[in-house]
Amino acid sequence: MDNSRKSGLEDVLTPEAEAFMAEWRNDCDYVVAHTSGSTGRPKEIRLLKSDMLVSAKATNEFFGIGADSLLVLPLSPDYIAGKMLLVRAAVAGARVWVESPSREPLRGYSPPTAIDLVPIVPAQIDGLLSCKSLPMIKNVIVGGAPMSAEDERKLVEGGVNAYATFGMTETCSHVALRRVGEAQYVALPGFRFSTDDRQCLVVESDRMSFGRLVTNDVVDIVDGSRFVWVGRFDNVIITGALKVFPEDVESRLKPVAADLKFYISSRRSAEWGEEVVLVVADIDLEAGRGLMEQCRSLLRPHECPKTVVALPELERTSTGKLRRKRF
């Protein structure tokens, strides 16, 4: 990052960001990062700098980020999303402002110019929408965990040009972005999509070290650069030989249950192999029973939950992703 720009404005980095930039500039061909912990405890991993460069350049091209751009990082540089924002700034020669993570991003920051890109997690949406700098933000990317229907509604009504991200550890960062309020994910430059015989997404890139990556994400493919996400293959429920995609069912129920925290899972069934259940926290048991009554008019018969399972709480990872249980 270059602090000697014509504007005279300097980068503002936290000690953690400074430490990462030192690691980025050393002679090692990889950097150390941590996973989000969506399938267990966060794990230490190694990311190739060559892959990070490819990913950063693709995002910069998508958003038109260059030497005159300003990027803001309200996330920890210990995780991949934070590291990649810093790499994007370094590759483009853009200015960057880094602040300690909080639920109220940009609260104490008065940007000197428009902000080209801000990455956040869903827990920061309300804080971002209430900050005075919001009109100065050109683009927001939201990752780390799925957004609720209510989150997306707030962003759309707030006039925020926001995108949901799709990516994984192996791709360093996102390979596709979906404009909030729309259904289709669009590939970043340099990535191509297809599906395997499970209907799971296959990501290809001539520049990334993985070359061809088969995911466990079930999608409806539109063409080589666009898809609609359906759910995780690992979460698929097979009841009476029929498939149920929990995430798809949840998306259809959320408009009538915006305030209810729930998810769709399954339990063993002697008759059907598996049967669908609605999982809620103890305190939401009555609301869950109320939602059950509405399922018949919103879902196909085999998708309708057979009962409500109440847990003390719905477990989540450190980044807010659900830890789903089967029963």
Domain locations in the chain?
15-189, 236-311
- Confidence bin at 38 (pLDDT 50/70/90): low
Going by C-alpha positions, the residue among 251, 239, 260 that lies closest to residue 299 is: 251
pLDDT at 6: 40
- Tokens (6 digits) for 40: 């267990």
Q: Mean pLDDT throughout 43-49? A: 88
Q: Beta partners for 311?
A: 281
pTM for the model stands at: 0.85
Decide if pLDDT at 8 tops 70.
no
Going by C-alpha positions, the residue among 228, 300, 216, 231 that lies closest to residue 265 is: 231
Q: Beta partners for 174?
A: 167
Rg of the Cα atoms in the chain: 21
The answer to whether domain 15-189 and domain 236-311 are alike in fold is no
Q: What is the pLDDT of residues 72-123, one digit of tens each?
A: 999 999 889 999 999 999 999 999 999 999 999 998 888 999 999 999 999 9
Indicate the CATH number of 15-189 among 3.40.50.1220, 3.40.50.300, 3.40.50.12780, 3.50.50.100.
3.40.50.12780
| Strand order across the 308-311 sheet | 262-269, 273-281, 308-311
Contact 109, 99 (CB under 8 A): yes
Cβ-Cβ contacts under 8 Å for 164 (sequence gap 6 or more) = 141, 142, 143, 146, 147, 177, 178, 180, 185
Q: Would you say domain 236-311 falls under CATH 3.30.300.30?
A: yes
